[in-house]
Amino acid sequence: MKIVFLHGIGDGDPAAGWLEGLNRGLVRDRFEPIDQADTCAPRYASFLSTDGISAKLPATTYKAGDETTGRREFERRQARVRRVLGLDPVSSTVGFHRVPEQVLDPTRQAALRFVNRFDLPQVRRYVGSEAVRGAVLRRILDQIPATGEIMLIGHSLGSVIAIDLLDHLPAEVHVRRFITIGSPANAKVLHEGSERLLKKFPYRRVDDWTNFLNIGDHVTGGRGLGATFTAAQDFRIEVGLLEHSAAAYLGHESATRLIADLLYPTKVVALRSSAVAVRLTDSEASALLVLHYAQLVARCIKDKDRATRYRSALDMTRDNVAARLAEQAAAEGRPPAPELMALQGGEMPALPQRWDLSRAVNALVALAVTNVVEPFEIDVARAPLDALPEIAEALGFRRDAGEKIGRAITEVQQSVDRRGGVPWGRVLTVAAGVALVAAGPVGLAVAAPASVFGAAAITGGLAAFGPGGMVGGLALLGGLASTGAAVAATGVAGSSDVDHVIPDAVTLVLRVATEYARKLLDLEYDEQLWYLLANAEIQLSGQINHLSAFSDPKSAKITQLTAARTTVTRLMAFLIEKGLAPRALDCAESTAPDDSERLPVEA
């Protein structure tokens, strides 16, 4: 596989400084350096500085059709790049945030003046002249391979040319990795001329696209390419204030890691079987339960387009989970279980049947209201409820167990929202921004939106929740959030002192649904839940009464607290209606004297 490097402005880097910087980084990270014979670095500097250069644009060789499948597969590969780098793509366009505040504005102004004087005219000349573009592209096409796989790296203006080159490459050339560095994303002409460079991204020709920008690079202006080209995935790195050289970029550990990942694929990820039978850990088993249930949800989605998108999103989730499980097993120095090896190989292993019905109820109630493919938002309608009988059967129980769990969720939902039909999967995970997870019969925890690396710091302690604990599984998709964590800590510890905690209303809804499902299945349920609700009602009422003395009647906080209290009140009525309230309350009511038996109160 050839590495094709497209240079920026200047003399075309005849000394191959870019390769020297890259090799320096590879050797530092204990990889073999790249032989110059395995690279191709066309030089076209004179074409950009000489008047009269002209050539017809080469033919477009990529015929874009329906790119729906191609784009989804591309996004899955992009997710793998994120795992390789262990980084999150940048989410803003501020590039000088590490510069001391007192020198921020002078530095930015000087950098932008430098860009306008030095780099932008070259970019403008290339983007604005079809004749120059044709000459440069033809020069490059004459020197790069006509067939096979390449890694394409574009620096500065070379990144602009590389983008332009993508749909003109020979039909038999496939780009295994596309990397742009120091791209002049702040150049106005690049935004105005993006359609001229690349009308439609060739998702089936290019495996992935990573754009590195140095925080203090004067040419990038701190801006990424993602706002102009939707296929680009921007990552910020630090190689020095005003540093723009290709050698500095390619010598950075993130760039060398990404390049080495393709050139020298690690053998660590190729898990080998062991003669010793290895049992799945509790967290691994819980993760498999999540994935199995999500697979069943996909089958129950009626709309074909939504079902297809859900499956594609689930593929990315499964990749993330498999990678995280393998990383965790390696970090703990233990051989992988056979199920984990199957998952890494792209297969869905059989679901272990280690849950008893009591614990399964807690897990399935949480699953039914959790968006497993977070952060993607797909309206799956009733599919999560329809999948419950299927997953119950897969766990070794009767199908009617899943039906009763679904009934419990539906009835509690209707008692809270009298209109009915609330799409819990969206309300609880999108509007609230969290995925609710049952931690056991006495507590709930809350998992944040999915991020395969977000839970690394807490995963080790999650096995304490016991076999099948959903926290252990979904923690692989996200870290614990603060909301509801106090409730979980109190419940798991078995403490009855809840006076210092005000559980959020959503947590209480899940608790009621779980306990009602247990009652429908003739399992022991927690009568003490009534007192948790009663305490929440007291605490919420106290806050409302305190705030209403001075706040506006329709203030956001009072409105929110009032809505929460209404939910709690309806849940208490539901407990009474369904016979979930403590028996002592019934006894107290039945033994209380009626009005005729009450003694008169002396004045």
Q: 35 in the Ramachandran plot: left (φ > 0), alpha (ψ -120 to 50) or beta?
A: beta
Q: With beta carbons less than 8 A apart as the criterion, state whether 574 and 560 touch.
A: no
Answer yes or no: do 429 and 540 share one domain. Answer: no
Encode 42-70: b = buried (16+ Cβ within 10 Å), e = exposed: bebbebbeeeebebeebeebbeeeeeeeb
Among residues 234, 263, 292, the one where a domain terminates is 263
CA 123/CA 433 separation, integer angstroms: 42
Q: Find tokens 């349920």 and name the residue.
A: 525
Last residue of a domain, one of 526, 555, 583: 526
- Looking at per-residue pLDDT, the higher value among 26 and 485 belongs to 26
- Report yes or no on 272 lying in a domain: no
pLDDT at 53: 85
* Alpha helix segments (H runs only) across 119-245: 120-128, 130-143, 157-165, 188-192, 194-197
Q: Is residue 374 part of a domain?
A: yes
With contact defined as beta carbons under 8 Å apart, do 80 and 224 qualify? Answer: no
Residues 223 and 213: their CA atoms lie apart, in Å, by: 8
The answer to whether residues 520 and 536 belong to one domain is no
In angstroms, how far is CA 154 from the centroid of its own chain?
A: 28
Residue 415 lies in a domain: yes
Query: Looking at the structure, do residues 343 and 395 belong to the same domain, yes or no?
Result: yes
Mean pLDDT, rounded, for 267-289: 68
Selected residue with higher pLDDT from 47 and 277: 47
Per the listing, tokens 């009298």 go with 418
Does one domain contain both 233 and 291? Answer: no
Containing structural domain, residue 248: 2-263
What's the burial of 354, exposed, middle or buried (CB within 10 Å: 0-12/13-18/19+)?
Answer: middle
Encode pLDDT of 364-396 as tens digits.
Answer: 998 898 888 888 899 999 999 999 999 999 999
Q: Within a domain: residue 392?
A: yes
Task: Tell me the mean pLDDT in the region 46-61.
Answer: 89
pLDDT surpassing 60 at residue 267: no
Residue 277 falls within a domain, yes or no?
no
Domain boundary among the residues 526, 544, 577 is at: 526
CA atoms of 64 and 75, how far apart (whole Å): 17
Do 440 and 336 contact (CB within 8 A), yes or no?
A: no
65/174 same-domain check = yes
- The string of pLDDT tens digits covering residues 551-589 is 998 999 999 899 889 999 999 999 999 999 987 776 555
Which of 352, 345, 348 lies closest to 273 in space, CA to CA?
345
Question: Is the pLDDT at 493 greater than 60, yes or no?
Answer: no
Convert the pLDDT of each residue in 1-30 to its tens digit.
Answer: 999 999 998 888 999 999 999 999 999 999
Q: Do 478 and 567 fall into the same domain?
A: no
Quick check: is 601 in a domain?
no
In this structure, are strands 172-181 and 2-6 parallel, antiparallel, or unpaired?
unpaired
Q: Quick count: other Cβ atoms within 10 Å of Cβ 486?
A: 18
Q: Write the CA distances from 226 to 185, 312, 454, integer angstroms.
A: 9, 22, 23
- Tally of domains in the chain: 3
